[in-house]
C-alpha cells in the first residue's frame, strides 16, 4: 500500500479569483514504511502539499490516493483521516484539556472507541513518546516543559493509531535534546509500528540522517525526488536555488576543491567515517 500523487495541481484564490498555482503537476509515490523528508523554500508548496494527504485541502486538479482511497471523493476522506495523522508546527499550542490524559484521549473519543480501548490507546501513545503514564496522566499539559508539551501533543495524534504520520517542522523551537528525542521517536514508530513518516524540515542534517527519500519542492514543482545521497549529490544545484545542504556535504565539497577526491553521495557522518576507514585500509 502507498500514497500515490498523480498530476496534483492546486491554486489558492483571493476575492474569488485564482492566484498563481502553489502546486504544479506533482507526480510521485510514497511507499509504505518510508521516511520521506520534504525540503524547499518558504512558499514552495510544502505545507499546501501535506494538507492534501488527509483532505484538509481538496484536490482541484489531479488525484491523491492513500492505500487506494481517492481523496477527491468526499466519502473517502473520513477513511483516510483515520489512516493519516497530522502534526503541525508547534502542536502544543493545540493542547486544551485539563489533563494530559484527556488531551491524548480526545482523538480516540471522537473515533467512538469504548473506554477500555481509549485507555489502551492513551497508555500506548504516552509510552511511545516517553511520558510516564502514572506521572503525567493527571497533570495539566500547561505545567509541562516545552519538550514534554510537544510530546503530549504528538501522543494525541498517535492515540488515533495512524498508519501514516505527517509532520510539519516537528522540531521547531526545541533545544538539541528535544530534537533528538522527537527524531528517535519517529525512528521507533517506523521500526516497531511500521508507520510511514512524512516530515517537512529545514534541517538538512536531520533529513540526510533519517530520510529514506527526499522530496525537493521549488516554486510548487518537484525539483528532485530520490534517496538522500542522490539528492544531496546535487549540492551545487540545491545551493543555486538558495537551499542549504548537510554539513558533511559542505565538508566534502571543500575537500574536493582542495584536491581530495571524495564521492558526492556522502552526506552523513557515518558515510564519511566509512569512506575514511576504507581509504585507510587501502593506504
Mean pLDDT of all residues in 28-46:
95
Domains present along the chain, CATH in parentheses: 2-83+162-228 (3.40.50.300)
Distance, CA of 74 to CA of 59 (rounded, Å): 11
Model pLDDT, residue 176:
85
- Angle at the Cα of 180 (from 174 to 182), degrees rounded to 5? 75
Q: Which residues face 63 on adjacent strands? A: 6
The backbone torsions φ and ψ at residue 243, rounded to the nearest 5 degrees and listed phi first, read -95, 155
Model pLDDT, residue 282:
52
Among 196, 222, 245, residue whose Cα is nearest residue 30: 196
pLDDT tens digits for 127-147? 988 899 999 999 999 888 888
Q: Give the range with max mean pLDDT: 88-92, 213-217, 255-259, 271-275.
A: 213-217
Look at the block and give the residue holding cell 558526492. 264
Among 270, 267, 238, residue whose Cα is nearest residue 251: 267
Q: Which helix (H) or strand (E) holds 167?
A: strand 164-168
Model pLDDT, residue 95:
87
Distance, CA of 158 to CA of 124 (rounded, Å): 9
Distance, CA of 150 to CA of 180 (rounded, Å): 13
Q: Which residues face 87 on adjacent strands? A: 167
How confident is residue 281, by pLDDT bands cut at 50, 70 and 90?
low
Model pLDDT, residue 280:
60
pLDDT tens digits for 47-92? 999 999 999 998 889 999 999 999 988 889 889 988 999 998 888 8
The backbone torsions φ and ψ at residue 79, rounded to the nearest 5 degrees and listed phi first, read -65, -45
What pTM was estimated for this model as a whole?
0.91
Amino acid at each position: 500500500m502507498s500514497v500515490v500523487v498523480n498530476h496534483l495541481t492546486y491554486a489558492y484564490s483571493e476575492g474569488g479569483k485564482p492566484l498563481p498555482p502553489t502546486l504544479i503537476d506533482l507526480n510521485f509515490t510514497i511507499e509504505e514504511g518510508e521516511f520521506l523528508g520534504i525540503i524547499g523554500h518558504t512558499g514552495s508548496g510544502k505545507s499546501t502539499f501535506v494538507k492534501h494527504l488527509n483532505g484538509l485541502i481538496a484536490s482541484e486538479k489531479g488525484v491523491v490516493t492513500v492505500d487506494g482511497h481517492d481523496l477527491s471523493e468526499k466519502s473517502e476522506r473520513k477513511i483516510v483521516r483515520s489512516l493519516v495523522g497530522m502534526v503541525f508546527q508547534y502542536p502544543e499550542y493545540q493542547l486544551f484539556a485539563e489533563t494530559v490524559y484527556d488531551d491524548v484521549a480526545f482523538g480516540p473519543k471522537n473515533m467512538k472507541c469504548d473506554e477500555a480501548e481509549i485507555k489502551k490507546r492513551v497508555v500506548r501513545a504516552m509510552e511511545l513518546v516517553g511520558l510516564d503514564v502514572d506521572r503525567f496522566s493527571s497533570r495539566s499539559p500547561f505545567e509541562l516543559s516545552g519538550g514534554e508539551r510537544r510530546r503530549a501533543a504528538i501522543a494525541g495524534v498517535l492515540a488515533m493509531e495512524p498508519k501514516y504520520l505527517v509532520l510539519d517542522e516537528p522540531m521547531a523551537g526545541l533545544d538539541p535534546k528535544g530534537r533528538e528525542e522527537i527524531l528517535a521517536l519517529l525512528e521507533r514508530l517506523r521500526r516497531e509500528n511500521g508507520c510511514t513518516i512524512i516530515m517537512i524540515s529545514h534541517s538538512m542534517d536531520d533529513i540526510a540522517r533519517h530520510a529514506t527519500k527526499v522530496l525537493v519542492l521549488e516554486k510548487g514543482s518537484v525539483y528532485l525526488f530520490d534517496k538522500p545521497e542522490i539528492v544531496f549529490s546535487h549540492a551545487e544545484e540545491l545551493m543555486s536555488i538558495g537551499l542549504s545542504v548537510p554539513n558533511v556535504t559542505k565538508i566534502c565539497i571543500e575537500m574536493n576543491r582542495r584536491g581530495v577526491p571524495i564521492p558526492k553521495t556522502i552526506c552523513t557522518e557515518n558515510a564519511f567515517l566509512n569512506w575514511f576507514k576504507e581509504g585507510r585500509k587501502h593506504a
